[in-house]
Structure 1
Amino acid sequence: MKLSPVVLEDRFVRLEPFNAGLEDEMRAALDCDPEAWNGMVSAAYGEHFDSWWAAALKAMSVGSRIAYAVRRLSDAAVVGTTSLYEIKPEHRRCEVGSTFYRPGARGGPVNPACKRLLLGHAFDAGAVRVEIITDALNAASAAAIRKLGARDEGVLRKHKITWTGRIRDTAQFVVLDDDWPEVRRRLDARLETFA
């Protein structure tokens, strides 16, 4: 499995790997909705942005993460971020996540379009397992992951510590290469409803 930091695009979004030219747009896109950041391991709004941005670029430089700016094509606005991370070529697995969208980009085609592109990129590169995790308290996120067709693998207790210091249980989901054709079909059908 070899994942490359390339631009991924469909008719709804363009996922642009982080680079210095995106920093200001990313800062503006993420500087909102502080409560939504509370379940995340790190925050990227306001004063938290610089350290978050530096950590993302560092992870990209060692190949453990590909962080993307999410550009909505209908208005060319950067509306959030998502990543392929915990990239483990030797095990042909990675995670999709570290995702945040501005409130106005939630609930429409942006999230399923991003997941379709990221999952496709991972499986085309030879992945056999793609994990998607969320805070076990985030029922809306878990429901969205289930809607993608990911399989529920249970809860990892005391799995992570959020940036606020809360010890977090993590709900873990997975899409295997065997599952991908059906998940892809479901995502494509869902995205057709937004066409």
Structure 2
Amino acid sequence: MRLDARALENNFVRLEPFTAELEPEVRAALDCDPEAWNGMVSAAYGPHFDGWWSAALRAMETGSRIAYAVRRKADGAVVGTSSLYEIRPEHRRCEVGSTFYRPEARGGPVNPACKRLLLGHAFDAGAVRVEIITDALNAGSAAAIRKLGARDEGVLRKHKITWTGRVRDTAQFAVLDEDWPEVRRRLDERLAKFG
């Protein structure tokens, strides 16, 4: 499995790997909704952005992550971020996550369009497993992951510590290479409804 850091694009979004030029737009997109960051391992709004941005760039340099700015094609605005991370070529697996969208970009085509691109990129590169995880307390996120067609694999107890210091249980989901054709079909059908 070899994942390259290149832009990914469909009718709804363009995913652009982080570069120094994107920093102001990403900062502006993430500097909102502090409550939504509470269940995340790290925060990227306001005073937390610089450390988060630097960590993302370092992970990209090591090849363990490809962090993307999510640009909504309808208006050209950067509305959030998502990543392929925990990239493990030796096991042909990675995770999709570190995802945050501005409130007005939630609930429409942005998330399924991003997941379609990220999952497609991973499986096209030879992945046999793509994991998607969320805070076990985040029922909305878990429902969205199930709607994608990812399989529920249970809860990892005391799996991570959030930036607020809370010990977090993590709900784990995965899409395997044999699941991907059906997941892809379902995502394509959902996106077709948005025109």
Q: TM-score, normalised by structure 2?
A: 1.00
Give, as a single letter, the amino acid of the residue that structure 1 aligns with 2:60.
Answer: M
Residue identity opposite 2:120 in structure 1? G
TM-superposed CA distance for 1:147, in Å, is 0.1
Q: What secondary structure does 2:55 align onto?
A: helix
In the alignment, structure 2 segments of 5+ residues that lack a partner are none
Q: Once the two structures are aligned, what percentage of the paired residues are identical?
A: 84
Q: Which structure 2 residues correspond to residues 63-74 of structure 1 after superposition, within 5 A?
A: 63-74=63-74
Secondary structure class of the residue paired with 1:60: helix
C-alpha root-mean-square deviation of aligned residues, in Å?
0.2
Question: How big is the shift at 1:109?
Answer: 0.1
- Partner SS for 2:146: helix
Q: Which residue matches 1:153? A: 153
Question: Structure 1: how far apart are the matches of 2:39 and 2:194?
Answer: 29
Aligned pairs for 1:15-164 within 5 A: 15-164=15-164
Cα distance in 2 for partners of 1:175, 1:6 equals 22
In 1, Cα distance between the equivalents of 2:144 and 2:27? 25
- What secondary structure sits across from 1:144 in the alignment? helix
Instruction: Report the residue type matching 1:70 in the other structure.
Output: V
The CA distance in 1 between the partners of 2:124 and 2:42, in whole Å, is 29
Q: Deviation at 1:84?
A: 0.1
Q: Partner amino acid for 1:104?
A: E
Paired with 2:16 and 2:39, the residues of 1 have a C-alpha distance of 25
CA drift of 1:87 comes to 0.1
Q: CA deviation at 1:110?
A: 0.1
Secondary structure at the counterpart of residue 144 of structure 2: helix
The runs of 4+ residues in structure 1 deviating greater than 6 Å are none
Q: Using structure 1 for the length normalisation, give the TM-score.
A: 1.00
Distance 2:93 2:28 in 1: 32
**Alignment pair present for 1:193 and 2:179:** no
C-alpha separation in 2, matches of 1:66 and 1:27: 17
Deviation string, structure 1 residues 90-117 (Cα, Å, up to 9, x no partner): 0000000000000000000000000000
